[in-house]
Amino acid sequence: MRTAATPIISLVAEHGAAIVGHILFTPVTLADSSQLLMGLAPVAVTHALQNQGAGAALISAGLEQCRRAGVVAVFVLGHAEYYPRFGFVPSVLHGISCEYAVPPENFMCLALSANLIVPDHACVRYHTEFARI
Ligand SMILES: CC(C)(COP(=O)(O)OP(=O)(O)OC[C@H]1O[C@@H](n2cnc3c(N)ncnc32)[C@H](O)[C@@H]1OP(=O)(O)O)[C@@H](O)C(=O)NCCC(=O)NCCS
């Protein structure tokens, strides 16, 4: 993924000398739109250090880097109770679906700019490398 997708945002969380968390953003597409859109996946924190804020720090820092890079919106497929605290809402509220058959509440979107253009029948597609996982 790191070599095939461009651009990417990849951050780690450190605890002492150890890497204890990671987050990756890769480009996603919405029909033939040329907007810069990113998918947040994966994010993980080592089990023993969960619930201490590392996940939130990774997500907040990653979203800030997305803003600085001019990303128009970020999509995530994940826990419906977790991501809304960062501003994510179900993508279906923007009229956007996911290429994967997932419950609508789990596919979420955070618009980072007022310039998000949603084409008709908008469906988000992840980088082709995801199909190999
Ligand atoms: C999801 C994950 C990255 C969060 O990282 P973290 O460092 O534990 O999270 P934080 O400490 O920043 O936040 C903790 C809060 O998140 C909530 N939370 C964690 N996992 C959750 C989940 N699966 N569903 C709902 N809420 C969750 C906790 O209940 C806690 O809530 P509180 O603040 O109200 O007490 C981490 O739990 C993880 O690595 N999980 C396994 C991998 C995974 O599921 N990745 C996400 C795929 S979408």
φ/ψ (deg, to 5) at 19:
-85, 120
Let me know if residue 18 belongs to a domain: yes
Q: Which residues lie closer than 8 Å to 132 by C-beta, 6 or more apart?
A: none
Domain count, the chain: 1
Sign (positive/negative) of CA torsion 85, 89, 90, 91?
negative
CB-ligand 1 contact for 48 (6 Å cutoff): no
Token pair 């419950």 in the structure block, residue = 103
Determine, yes or no, domain membership for 73.
yes
Residue 117 lies in a domain: yes
pLDDT at 15: 95
Please tell me if the CB atom of residue 45 comes closer than 6 angstroms to any atom of ligand 1: yes
Ligand 1 in contact with 81 (CB < 6 A)? yes
In the chain, the amino acid numbered 92 is V
Q: Is residue 1 part of a domain?
A: no
* Distance between Cα 85 and ligand 1 center (Å): 11
In this prediction the pTM is: 0.95
Question: Which tens digit of pLDDT belongs to each residue from 21-70?
Answer: 999 999 999 987 789 999 999 999 999 999 999 999 999 999 999 999 99
d(CA 6, CA 51): 31
And the tokens for 21? 């968390």
Q: Omega into 7 within 30° of 0, i.e. cis?
A: yes
Domain span holding position 24: 9-132
Work out whether strand 73-77 and strand 107-111 pair parallel, antiparallel, or are unpaired: antiparallel
State the pLDDT at residue 78. Answer: 96
Do the domain assignments include residue 3?
no
CATH code, domain with 60:
3.40.630.30
Q: Give the largest Cα separation in the chain, rounded.
A: 48
Examine residue 121 and state whether it is found in any structural domain, yes or no.
yes
The finding on whether 51 has its CB within 6 A of some atom of ligand 1 is yes
Residue 127 forms part of a structural domain: yes
Give the least confident one: 51-55, 82-86, 101-105, 126-130.
Answer: 126-130
CA distance 89 to 103: 13
Distance between Cα 96 and ligand 1 center (Å): 25
Q: Is residue 37 part of a domain?
A: yes
